[in-house]
Amino acid sequence: MTEQHYEVAFVGAGNMGEALIRGLLQAGHTAERIAIADARPEQVEALQARYPGLATGRAEDLAGSSATLVLAVKPQTLPELAPGLRDAVAIGAPLVLSVAAGITTRQLAGWLGPQTRLIRAMPNTPALVGAGVSGLYAAPTATPEDHATATRLLEAVGRAIWVTDEEQMHAVTATSGSGPAYVFLMIEAMEEAARTLGLPSETALELTLGTLAGATRLATETQEDAAELRRRVTSPGGTTERALQVLEDGDLRGLIRRAMQAAADRSRELGD
């Protein structure tokens, strides 16, 4: 094993890579011990300007000289990129943490070598503001220290939740990975409806965002489950009851079930 010069190296430093880097720096990690490799030189320069001290190098070099190697490129990029890192990973023996949606540890082990210590993480975009929630799965090759390292890394941008069966990563992807987009669609729809009902745009947005944030906080902080909280705002014969009837008649639950099934199916296709 060569000297592990970097604590963490990122191959791919786009949205998710940058979110993790920012989180690590805010959590007190040293920029000089974090390295990035990205296909776009201007992206490397921009990140080095935003986070002074950040190191850079070729992906193969970083793979051989880092304690943890984070793969944060698009899933489609990995079949071409990962086999080229195989020799360096064999020499440097880093923990390899992949955030690529749908790519399985079996695929990664095929490209990088069967002994590679592998962990998959599925973060989500609220990580950009430190409010992410990530699902994680460790291959049997990962050690307890690797679990701790991955938890620390992902907790720099929010919460980290482990699953024990890799199959569940498809459900994680459909729930928390794609989930923010469902909520953004809800924001768009509520805001638009509020405007149609006569509210100025700004008021419509403020009330929508405040309501979603407040309801989520209430559901998080209280001991009651969501169904009970819903019943409490639904007085018989009242306005909420009338609105919920429309949502139930339109089969909102069925629609969400089908949407999440479609996301999980797509996640499976990506891993084929």
Ligand X SMILES: NC(=O)c1ccc[n+]([C@@H]2O[C@H](COP(=O)([O-])OP(=O)(O)OC[C@H]3O[C@@H](n4cnc5c(N)ncnc54)[C@H](OP(=O)(O)O)[C@@H]3O)[C@@H](O)[C@H]2O)c1
Q: Which residue has the tokens 């079930």?
A: 257
* Contact pick of 23, 57, 123, 179 for ligand X (by CB under 6 A): 123
Residue nearest to ligand X (CB): 14
Provide the minimum distance between the beta carbon of 246 and ligand X in the complex, in angstroms, as a whole number.
Answer: 31
Name residues whose C-beta falls within 8 Å of residue 113's C-beta, 6 or more positions apart in sequence. 86, 89, 90
Stretch that binds ligand X, among 62-70, 105-113, 116-124, 143-151 (CB under 6 A): 116-124
* Min dist. Cβ of residue 53 to ligand X (A): 20
Applying CB under 6 A, does 130 fall inside the site for ligand X? no
Please tell me the distance from the alpha carbon of residue 112 to that of residue 119, in angstroms, as a whole number: 13
Can you list the alpha helix ranges (DSSP code H) found in the chain?
A: 15-26, 41-50, 59-63, 78-81, 86-92, 105-112, 144-155, 168-172, 179-196, 201-221, 226-233, 239-249, 252-271
Query: Which two three-digit tokens encode residue 134?
Result: 């990530």
Q: Which is nearer to ligand X, 13 or 204 (CB)?
A: 13
- Terminal-residue alpha carbon distance, the chain: 32
- The residues in 236-255 that bind ligand X, with binding defined as CB under 6 A, are none
Query: Which is closer to ligand X, CB of 18 or CB of 191?
Result: 18
* 74 belongs to the binding site for ligand X (CB under 6 A): yes
Which CB sits closer to ligand X, 134 or 194? 134
CA pair distance 203, 205, nearest whole angstrom: 5
In the range 13-72, which residues lie near ligand X by CB under 6 A? 14-17, 37-40, 43, 59, 72
CB of 200 to ligand X, least distance (A): 31
Nearer to ligand X, 75 or 110 (CB): 75
Number of chain residues interacting with ligand X (CB under 6 A): 26
Question: Do residues 179 and 124 lie in contact, with contact meaning Cβ atoms separated by under 8 Å?
Answer: yes
| 3-class secondary structure, 159 | strand
Nearer to ligand X, 116 or 173 (CB): 173
- Distance in angstroms (rounded) separating the CA atoms of residues 55 and 36: 6
Is residue 171 at the binding interface for ligand X, with CB under 6 A as the rule? no
Q: Is 231 helix (H, G, I), strand (E, B) or coil?
A: helix
Which residues here bind ligand X, judged by CB under 6 A?
11-12, 14-17, 37-40, 43, 59, 72-75, 77, 81, 99-101, 122-125, 177
